[in-house]
Structure 1
Amino acid sequence: MSYEVNEPILNSPFDEPSQYWFIREGYEPELKEGRRPAIVYPPREGNTEWELGQVLKLSSPDEFFPGYEMTLVNRIRKEVKEWRRQQYPGVSRTTLELLEYWSREGREHRLFFAQKEAVETIIFLIESRTDFRQGIHIPQDTPIDSTLKAFIRCACKMATGSVKITVMGMLAAWSILNKVADRSNAKFSDIVLIICPNITIKSRLQELNPDNGEASLYRTRDLVPSHLMDKLRRGKVLVTNWHIFEKRVVADTDQWERAAAYIIDNHPATAAFVKNERLGFTIPRLYYPSEDS
């Protein structure tokens, strides 16, 4: 049986999806109205059972089985849509100005629906009127280290090609401008930390620095109106690699100490580590130019 469809693209990237192909094993593809629910499929190999509850629900056989419906995501999507329809009750004047600026008619650089919805969702969870969030419980992320407090991690899962850097810029501008407008508001920060996986991406993300002015992403992609740029520059966007957070251990032999120093100084993008069983610590061991490397 073929699962190919004659019209794979049904929706504009600038509007909320209104149709989707319903595809199941053993059945012909079926065109359905509305937006496809958020679902996730477990790996075909493996028998790990996922925890159910307010976050996930096993789909019924006549729907997306063996997938799991992301019930929390679908609930939030529904509430965000209604909140948007009512013109974002609960948000600050600064936030409302940005939301209207991003959605205004005649934009040279139109934003994708996925970009706007991702930002709206984060704003919704922080600023929306409490009645919209009633019954929505975001599970806390509990650190392994018992001395650290649990916290809420908000993540936007976005497809390749959805231009995630634009979403990062929108969220950075939202947080910084709100903090500058009201220094006493603990919901916001005027310092944004961006952690990336390698030097190449770190270089690309430098356009998120507000100090670049008209050359920054905030102006080249029309994310912040010109009259707010001076306020935006009062904040800081720090871009770094994750390696800076790796625990550095000083070796008790000259050879291992030189290896660590060389790699940390010359190859910060490396992600290779080995365990020295005799000395009892982990140390990077890649690219060190010695005879026994």
Structure 2
Amino acid sequence: MPRPVIDNPILNSPFLAPERHWVLDENGVPTGIHAEGRRSSAFIVPVPPSKHKQADQGSLDLDDSWGTPISNDYINEVRSKVAAWRSLGDAGLDRTVTPVTARLLRYWRDPDRQRRLFFCQIEAAETAIWLAEVAPKLELDRLRTLNAEANPGLLRIAFKLATGAGKTTVMAMLIAWQTLNAARKKRGSSRFTDAFLVIAPGITVRDRLRLVAEQT
């Protein structure tokens, strides 16, 4: 069956929450049909390639079996909870987060700011803030339990963004959020921190981080 030709693959604005997505077939290939709403998060359990069919190096054969998609139920649930909190607007900020955090979020969300942030960047920061300042203790206990099942002995919270989405900016947003709040809190408080460890995975990222440091 021939693959559909999609003249314009862009369905959503990068500055707004996704409202539509392309429907994929069983091999993960876009069908040319779009559906309303955001695509649910899922991860793929890869299927080992057949020993009798090896793709050429550098090729991408989308017709091969791409694995079994499994829904990221917890991520989808957190997305919904963060979206519900976001929908409360300024009133929700005043009731749930520190004044410093509220001021930062208003600045980041401002559509008229000089360099408008992508929705995915704001959502990543919102999720970190929601987990740290808004979510009930039972939610955090549940997160620790899920983390222990996947990665015993080391509590980690990660944010996954696509290439080019501005991960370095998100890192700066999180550092600013923690540092400014730590400066306003009483000495000895463990809720916020002003100490950070930044690990660059390669020379390119290291050089970009160095450039950011020189510009600040």
TM-score of the superposed pair, with normalisation by structure 1 = 0.58
Where does the alignment leave 5 or more consecutive residues of structure 1 unmatched?
A: 47-64, 217-293
Equivalent residue letter for 1:175: Q
Matched with 2:53 is none
Matched with 2:12 is 11
Does the CA contact (< 8 Å) of 1:76 and 1:136 recur in 2? no
Flag the 1:33–1:179 CA change in 2: closer, same or farther, 3 A: same
Flag the 1:154–1:9 CA change in 2: closer, same or farther, 3 A: same
Matched with 1:25 is 26
Matched with 1:168 is 171
CA RMSD of superposed structures (Å): 3.0
Cα deviation, residue 206, structure 1? 2.5
Matched with 1:93 is 99
Cα deviation, residue 163, structure 1? 1.3
Aligned to 1:194, what secondary structure does the other structure show? coil
Cα deviation, residue 200, structure 1? 3.7
Look at both structures and tell me which one has the larger radius of gyration over its CA atoms: 1
Matched with 1:140 is 147
Question: Which of 119, 124, 129 matches 1:118?
Answer: 124
Paired residues, number: 192
Query: Percent identity among equivalent residues?
Result: 35
Does the CA contact (< 8 Å) of 1:15 and 1:113 recur in 2? yes
Does the CA contact (< 8 Å) of 1:112 and 1:162 recur in 2? yes
Cα deviation, residue 41, structure 1? 1.5
Matched with 1:276 is none
TM-score of the superposed pair, with normalisation by structure 2 = 0.77
Give the Cα separation in 1 of the matches to 2:150 and 2:24: 39
Flag the 1:6–1:79 CA change in 2: closer, same or farther, 3 A: same
Equivalent residue letter for 1:185: S
Flag the 1:178–1:161 CA change in 2: closer, same or farther, 3 A: same
Q: Which residues of 2 match residues 125-204 of structure 1 at below 5 A?
A: 125-130=131-136, 133=139, 136-138=142-144, 139-141=146-148, 150-182=153-185, 183-204=187-208
Equivalent residue letter for 1:81: A
Extract structure 1 runs of 4+ deviating beyond 4 A. Answer: 141-144
Q: Does 103-112 or 193-202 show the bigger shift?
A: 193-202
What per-residue deviation string (whole Å, max 9, x for no partner) do you get for residues 29-75 of structure 1?
432101000012122217xxxxxxxxxxxxxxxxxx83111001000
Give the Cα separation in 2 of the matches to 1:166 and 1:37: 25
Flag the 1:201–1:7 CA change in 2: closer, same or farther, 3 A: closer
Does the CA contact (< 8 Å) of 2:47 and 2:68 recur in 1? no
Aligned to 2:197, what secondary structure does the other structure show? strand
Equivalent residue letter for 1:84: R
Matched with 1:83 is 85
Does the CA contact (< 8 Å) of 1:3 and 1:29 recur in 2? yes
Matched with 1:287 is none
Give the Cα separation in 1 of the matches to 2:177 and 2:143: 23
Cα deviation, residue 141, structure 1? 4.6
Q: Which residues of 2 match residues 6-85 of structure 1 at below 5 A?
A: 6-25=7-26, 28-45=31-48, 66-85=68-87
Where does the alignment leave 5 or more consecutive residues of structure 2 unmatched?
A: 50-66
